[in-house]
Amino acid sequence: MNAQQALGRAGDAPAARPEGRGWHAQIADDKAMLRGARDLTLDIAQARPGIYWTDMILSALIGYGAMAGAILTDSTLLAIVLGLVSSLALYRALLFIHEISHLRNGALPGFRAGWNALVGIPLLTPSFMYEGVHTIHHKRTQYGTIEDPEYLPLALMKPWSLPLFVIVSVLAPIALLFRFAVLVPLGALIPAVRRLTWARFSALAINPAFRRRPAEGDLAPRVVRLEALGFVWSWIVIGAAFALGWRALLIALGIVSLTALLNQLRTLVAHLWENEGEAMTVTAQFLDSVNVPPPGFIAEIWAPVGLRYHALHHLMPSMPYHSLPEAHRRLARELGEESTYHGANHKGMAPLVTRIARSTMGRPRG
């Protein structure tokens, strides 16, 4: 019996996706696909420290080096080019926060602390803003519901919601600077401000209804340390702008704003956003998520660190990013062209944005 036959035993037929609203509730789990995701990838499920550290450090160093070049050069054209390089490199470095949120304890000793020192604190996005938050998005009974911090039914909302969703992201660097420079010290003096800051402004969430619960366990003291470091760094940045001039700060804010905009565009096409709040099976979550596999390399730029395989990531949340391409190849080959697995594969960002935009255009204008 070959692998495909073993994975496709009777009763494991692919789960075809119904059409129309509410299709998520009609999707049963495709057991063959779930079993394949587990059994075909056991030998590539361990994070490789050399890849993580090298990738993260090089991305950060290229990002900061290009940012320094953009600030120091007198050439407008060169500043624009270096600013773009900086934004893309810092974007890649920043997205390791997603990997950190899934790493098992002890999997990569020191990586979280190293990432916070090199990326999280300098960009005022420490790891606690994703730890304990992103995992809710993967919970079987909470994905796509009102409790999911990372889900909005964007495809079912009004047409103006999409441009607003994307454009507001450019304000993220200013909002983060205000959070750490102003709200953190105020919160230390006024408990109500502290509670508000934690509940509303301490998670990388897109669901405005989400309220973060108090930190527990070893996360609580880590939050205190990282917030203190963020406070100090934010005032170093502000002080440097007063002492040396505002040009450098404005260029840096522009670069980080571009990074935030790119991440928001990626978020816009990470899912189909067609769920209306009901709990979903793992297979339904998978089909509401997006893979943009090869051929083509553009997706590796706007969805790096394994995020071009976002649907596959929802099948195997703990799979290290460097193993996702091989996991995709194995599942695509062994499950076959007619399997449910291919239902989450899409061609690129433009068709996905068009699909979501068309869906919003069909909504009532009331």
Q: Are 332 and 341 in contact (CB under 8 A)?
A: yes
Q: Which residues pair with 291 in a beta bridge?
A: 309, 345
Q: Which residue has the higher pLDDT, 358 or 362?
A: 358
pLDDT score recorded for residue 4 = 39
Q: Are 309 and 325 in contact (CB under 8 A)?
A: yes
pLDDT score recorded for residue 15 = 52
**Could you read off the pLDDT of 37-76 as tens digits, one per residue?**
999 999 999 999 999 999 999 999 999 999 999 999 999 9
Say which amino acid occupies 155.
Answer: A
| pTM for the structure as a whole | 0.91
Distances (CA, A) of 250 to 53, 122, 129, 302: 30, 15, 24, 24
Mean pLDDT (the chain, rounded): 91
Q: Give the burial class of 183: count Cβ atoms within 10 A of its Cβ; 0-12 exposed, 13-18 middle, 19 or more buried.
A: buried
CA distance 16 to 351: 21
What is the C-alpha radius of gyration for the chain, rounded to an integer number of angstroms? 21
Short-list 273, 235, 269, CA closest to 350: 269
Q: How confident is the model at residue 19 (pLDDT cuts 50, 70, 90)?
A: low
Say which amino acid occupies 330.
Answer: R
pLDDT score recorded for residue 25 = 59
Say which amino acid occupies 44.
Answer: I
pLDDT at 179 over 80: yes
**Could you read off the pLDDT of 216-243 as tens digits, one per residue?**
999 999 999 999 999 999 999 999 999 9
Tell me which range, 14-18, 22-26, 107-111, 277-281, is most confidently predicted by mean pLDDT.
107-111
pLDDT score recorded for residue 138 = 92
The predicted model gives 290-308 an average pLDDT of: 95
CA atoms within 13 A on the CB side of 308: 26
pLDDT score recorded for residue 13 = 45
pLDDT score recorded for residue 241 = 94
**Could you read off the pLDDT of 98-119 as tens digits, one per residue?**
999 999 888 899 999 999 999 9
Token pair recorded at residue 54 = 């090298």
**Could you read off the pLDDT of 263-278 as tens digits, one per residue?**
999 999 999 998 888 8
**Could you read off the pLDDT of 197-222 as tens digits, one per residue?**
999 999 999 999 999 999 999 999 99
